[in-house]
Structure 1
Amino acid sequence: MILPVTDILSAEQIGRITARLTEGRMQHGAATAGWHARLVKDNEQLRADDPAHADLRAMVEQVVRTHPLVAMATRPCRFGPILFSRYGGGQHYGSHVDDAIMGGVRTDISFTLFLADPAEYDGGELVMETAAGEMAFKLPAGSGLFYPSTTLHRVEPVTRGQRMAAVGWIRSLIRDAGDRELLFDLDTARQTLFQQQGKTAEFDLLSKCLANLMRKWAED
């Protein structure tokens, strides 16, 4: 499931991150890429030893972990690295798949939080390469895209302005992407029924199914 979600970060949170991407300690993005991905990665990233990096990482993890829709879609267990990047002047990230293990954490779900308004830069689309064709995303500032880490994807060259983003990885309690989608659909139906009719016998039955499927599939 590829899921765009709006309004994850507030204007104040966006400002904190973009200020560090302008003023902080930066390095070439290839320094954090796998041996094959670094061949096609051309961007700049906030260094992990920047004084603000740890606080920004904790802020992003907390916001993503506690967002109701994101939590329902991803069932987060642990977070891998969170990177803060900027692209400009033709920089891009060619087609690649994310490493299976990052920072000692299995990567089930990748996410990109967009930090710049689409009108501020040209190019820079995040392109998912799927069996059904390519899907390009350039979301409003504060929005995020969540997708299986098994997906080939790329960032198109930025031809004007700067593209800024926070990128991270989640190990889910539910390893299989198809199982996560089934739980997401079931939980969506259950909550919709509750909003319409309250706590009914049908709601209780759906809740039982959801809980028991979680017990069957979860890896804590």
Structure 2
Amino acid sequence: ISDWMEQAEWISGAHTAGRNAVHHKSNREMDQQSEQWKKINSLVVSTLYSNSVFQRTALPLKVSAAFVARYTSGQAYGKHIDDPVMGTPGARYRSDIACTVFLSDKSDYDGGELTIHSDFGINTIKLDQGSAVLYPASSLHEIAAVTRGVRTVCVLWVQSLIRDTQKRDILAELGDARDALNLQLPEAKVTHSVDVAYTNLVRLWAEV
């Protein structure tokens, strides 16, 4: 990925900002017509789909193409909320979950923290290269100004089978319990009961 990023053409990120966010956004994005972007997009999206934690947490129905964004010294993205519906005509999706995949190591730059504001407080996130974070796309969030180095990330959005954040959280916890029981007590009655409960909750809450 590092070689592809070095070879790629980077254009202003303002053209992909929503109407209210455009005045707060200062970065560069990889040209989505380039071969380098196509390779990175394919690798990142396929890796997410094959990740069991992503599947269990996001319960994805649709996953957007990746926006590969680069922030250099002085660039930032002020407080904003993501657009509720994204995509091109005929390929629309509801943005339930935002996903940031970190392509730069956190030691490669200063500043550039992702800050998420919620009813439960403020979370500031800066992860190792190859790590990812999922959070509700309805959250107010921002990217602090980079003061040294280069911050490069992939940003994607997920339309989940389960629209409601609280219901997704319940299913994620229940899914963890189901997996643990399947490993430790595969033939137990409680394992079967939890599996039935999980399966039928997905059936009850899913929107397809």
TM-score over 0.5 for the alignment?
yes
Look up the equivalent residue of 1:177 and give its one-letter code: T
| Pairing 1:134–2:118 present | no
**Distance in 2 of aligned mates of 1:185 and 1:179:** 10
Alignment correspondent of 2:62: 78
Match of 2:22 among 10, 34, 38: 38
Report how far residue 208 of structure 1 moved. Answer: 0.4
Is the contact between residue 97 and residue 135 of structure 2 (CA under 8 Å) also seen in structure 1? yes
User: SS at the partner of 1:159?
Assistant: strand
Alignment correspondent of 1:65: 49
Residues 10-56 of structure 1: per-residue CA shift (max 9 Å, x gap):
xxxxxx2x333332121111111111111000000001111222232
| Pairing 1:155–2:139 present | no
Residues 148-172 of structure 1: per-residue CA shift (max 9 Å, x gap):
1111100000000000100000111
Q: Name stretches of at least 5 consecutive residues in structure 2 with no aligned partner.
A: none
Is the contact between residue 109 and residue 149 of structure 1 (CA under 8 Å) also seen in structure 2? yes
User: SS at the partner of 2:29?
Assistant: strand
Query: TM-score by structure 1 length?
Result: 0.89
| Pairing 1:108–2:96 present | yes
Report how far residue 118 of structure 1 moved. Answer: 1.1
Report how far residue 59 of structure 1 moved. Answer: 1.8
**Distance in 1 of aligned mates of 2:182 and 2:111:** 43
Runs of 4+ in 1 over 3 A off after TM superposition: none
Q: Name stretches of at least 5 consecutive residues in structure 1 with no aligned partner.
A: 1-15
| Pairing 1:52–2:40 present | no
**Distance in 1 of aligned mates of 2:4 and 2:39:** 11
Report how far residue 131 of structure 1 moved. Answer: 1.6
Residues 51-77 of structure 1: per-residue CA shift (max 9 Å, x gap):
222232122111111200110000011
What is the Cα-based RMSD across aligned positions, in Å?
Answer: 1.1
Identity %: 33
**Distance in 1 of aligned mates of 2:64 and 2:105:** 26
How many residues align? The count is 204
Is the contact between residue 45 and residue 65 of structure 2 (CA under 8 Å) also seen in structure 1? no
Alignment correspondent of 1:189: 177
User: SS at the partner of 1:81?
Assistant: coil
Structure 1, 162-171 or 124-133: larger mean CA deviation = 124-133
**Distance in 1 of aligned mates of 2:53 and 2:188:** 23
Residues 98-151 of structure 1: per-residue CA shift (max 9 Å, x gap):
111111111111000011111111000000011222110000000000011111
